[in-house]
Amino acid sequence: MKAAIVEKFGTLTVRDIPEPRAGDYGAFCELLYGATCSGTDAHLIDGHQPFASWVRCPFVLGHESIGRVLRVGRRVRNLRVGDLVTRVGTPAVPGYHVGWGGFAEFGVALDWRAMEADGVPATEWHGSRWNRVLPAGTDPAAATMVITWRETLSYLLRMGFGADRTLVVLGSGGNGLSFLVQARNLGAATTVMIGSPGRRAQAERAGAAAMVDYRAPDVGAQALAVCPGGFDFAIDALGRSAQANLGLSLLRPGGTIGVYGLDEAEVRLDAGRARGAFTANKNGYDEAETHEQVMAMLQAGKLDASLWLDLDRAYPLSEIGAAFAAVRRREIVKGLVKLG
């Protein structure tokens, strides 16, 4: 089968590798679509820390893929032929490691519920709880966004975000836009984005009351003009000290700052930038825990993948490098990749 391989850090190619084996609890899947991630995927390609410390080259890239079950192992009870499953990847095959392994023609989903019920140690299935069946009729191309939606919703909820709260998001990539949309879905009073002015239309569509150019000399003052008392929450979607500390300076006393991105291996907060006491969020996220909420939002029309993806233009797997290049040039928010 064909797969997108990081042969060495900085080099992404597509080549033929062996098909994976599913095993007793596995469902062998045809991978249909995947979406590029300008955070995790890009860092894996480039070999940024902390990723370079645990992934080994050559490896199969990708973690935002949707698969369709073709056949199941003898102990599988909760996955059926024809099911669409989220975040399917290929496990390690001879000669290749995995960076989640979603950019391939075939992959394996685990029936982790059956494994749990049968007493299989949690270490063997806990990391596969994101393999979830999608409702019948779900568009598999649009469903590649489910991974981002689940992650950002979980992060917001673990921060304590809720109705009538205010939020400033620093970073206008796919994750930043998802934070805006999910905050709106949770009943936010006001949201503001600080990022690239080229993303103004997307930010407004995502519900932002204002889009502030991150390069503006008075960027903080422009954000506070929308929320003079300071924001209840700030999220650095990039993971950079300068961005995080700008967010910290925009919090109201008692507010919460969260660093979601990983552009820098270590982000340092300068408490002297704060307007008063603050909380630094360290609760992270658990993508699997918000699946049902995201499905409900999707079916209610509260999530629209076209904000992030051009659903009419899918890059073939052979041109995945072009998709990542377009993202890096900020021509698109995320690239949709047709895998099968």
Q: What is the pLDDT of residue 165?
A: 98
- Count Cβ atoms below 10 Å from residue 61 Cβ, excluding itself: 27
Q: What is the pLDDT of residue 216?
A: 98
* 203-257: pLDDT as tens digits: 999 999 999 999 999 999 999 999 999 999 999 999 999 999 999 999 999 999 9
Annotated domain spans of the chain:
2-141+309-338, 148-280
3-state secondary structure of 270: coil
Q: What is the pLDDT of residue 4?
A: 98
Q: What is the pLDDT of residue 54?
A: 82
| Cβ contacts of 53 within 8 Å, gap of 6 or more | none
Q: What is the pLDDT of residue 120?
A: 98
Q: What is the pLDDT of residue 304?
A: 98
d(CA 54, CA 76): 30
d(CA 154, CA 46): 27
Side chain identity at residue 219, one-letter code = V
Superfamily of domain 148-280: NAD(P)-binding Rossmann-like Domain (3.40.50.720)
Please state the length of the chain: 340
- In 3D, which of 148, 141, 172, 179 has the Cα closest to residue 330? 172
Q: What is the pLDDT of residue 234?
A: 98
Domain 2-141+309-338 matches domain 148-280 at the CATH topology level: no
In the chain (340 residues long), the average pLDDT of successive 10-residue segments reads 96 97 97 94 87 88 97 98 97 93 98 98 96 97 98 98 98 98 98 97 98 98 98 97 98 98 92 97 96 97 98 97 96 96
Contact (Cβ atoms closer than 8 angstroms) between residue 20 and residue 108: yes
- Dihedral sign, CA of 78, 63, 242, 214? negative
Superfamily of domain 2-141+309-338: Medium-chain alcohol dehydrogenases, catalytic domain (3.90.180.10)
Q: What is the pLDDT of residue 242?
A: 97
